Amino acid sequence: MSYQPPRPARGLLVTPEDKEAPARIRRLRRLGLGEHPDPALDAFVHHLAGVTGTPYAMVNFIGEERQFFAGLRTLGAAPVVKADGSRPELGRFLPRDHGFCPHVLARRKALVLDDVCDYPRFAGNPVVDEYGIRSYLGAPLIDSTGMVLGTVCVADVEPRPWGKTGLETIKSTAADLAVRLERREHDGLPL
C-alpha cells in the first residue's frame, strides 16, 4: 500500500487555471495595458467607487503569475491591524491566487459575494485576512473578439447586499469600459 497525499477539498480555495493568459497578455500589450497605471482608469474607478459607495474599486488585468490594477481606488487603509500596529495598503500588484478576480476571469461572468465569509471557497482567500475584504462585486471585461481582458470590480470591508442593481451596475460598467478600451485602440479616443 502506498501513501497518497490528501487531495484538496472539492470547491475550496483553488485559483482557477487560466489557459488564455499568454494570448491575453499579448492583447493587453497591443492595447498598451496591463503594465503601467493608467490615469484614465484611475479616474474611471474613482467614479465607480462613488457610484457604488465602496472603499475599493479596480480595473484588474491578470497575468500568469500576478494581477495588476491599472485602475485603482482605495479609500484609506484596510481595517486589519498587524501585530506591529501597521495596516496593509492595497498596491497595484497582487499574486494571482489573491482575491476573486481570477474566478471572474475563468467564469466569464459576474461574481457577486454579499459576504465572502458565507462561501467556504472564498472565505479563506488571503484578501479577507490581509485587507479585511468582506464583500465583492466583479464583472469580466470582454472585448469584441470574445477575449476576457480583465475585470472591473468593487469591494467593501463590510458585508453588503449588492442586489440586482449592483449586479446590473457592474456588468454595464464592464461592458462600457470594454467598448471604450477598443475605441481608444482604434480611434485614439480618450476613455
Distance CA 128, CA 139 (A): 19
Look over the chain and give the mean of its residue pLDDT values, rounded to a whole number: 88
Residue 190 pLDDT: 74
pTM: 0.87
Which residues lie closer than 8 Å to 77 by C-beta, 6 or more apart? Answer: 87, 88, 89
Could you list the residue range(s) of the whole structural domain that residue 113 is in? 21-74+93-184
Task: Evaluate whether residue 175 is within a structural domain.
Answer: yes
CATH for 60: 3.30.450.40
The number of domains in the chain is 1
What's the pLDDT tens digit per position in 87-107? Answer: 777 889 999 999 999 999 999
Task: Evaluate whether residue 138 is within a structural domain.
Answer: yes
Place 76 in a pLDDT band, splitting at 50, 70 and 90.
low
Closest CA to 58 of 71, 49, 75: 71
Residues 106 and 18 sit within 8 Å (Cβ to Cβ): yes
Closest CA to 111 of 78, 143, 148, 145: 148
Task: Evaluate whether residue 36 is within a structural domain.
Answer: yes
- What's the Cα-to-Cα distance from 95 to each of 4, 28, 79, 141, rounded to whole Å? 29, 18, 21, 20
What's the pLDDT tens digit per position in 115-138? Answer: 999 999 899 999 998 889 999 999
Least confident window among 28-37, 44-53, 134-143: 28-37
Q: Please identify which residue in the block is written with the cell numbers 494581477.
A: 67
- The residues with which 67 forms a beta bridge, in sequence order, are 62, 94
Task: Evaluate whether residue 4 is within a structural domain.
Answer: no
